[in-house]
Structure 1
Amino acid sequence: MLKDKPYKLTDGKGLRLWVKPNGSKEWRYRFELRSSRRVSRLTLSLFENR
């Protein structure tokens, strides 16, 4: 399902899939380390060779 603007799909527990208008996708996961109280994000991108 492609749209004109980027959009996200979420599981409600910090995992999100960002989908861009060109069809590229990024998995993002938000997490907090108890020792630092800092919220961090891990991003994995998928790239296709065309």
Structure 2
Amino acid sequence: MLLTAMIFLFFVTNLMIAASTAYDAHYRAYDALRIAAIDQTKLVLESIQVESAETN
């Protein structure tokens, strides 16, 4: 019985580690996309500001 419980615990632990690793990978990917979008927005706003300063 103890051996069965230990094997079950081993599989459940590996499943939880795999799930948390997958979640972390997705979170990092989405975070990188968010940062890239913010950087692009800053570039667009800066270019609009430069263009409006040149026309004035």
Establish whether TM, by shorter chain, passes 0.5: no
Greater relative contact order (Cα < 8 A, sep 6+): 1
Q: TM-score by structure 2 length?
A: 0.19
Q: Which has the higher strand share?
A: 1
Structure with higher Rg: it is: 2
Q: Which has the higher helix share?
A: 2
Q: TM-score by structure 1 length?
A: 0.20
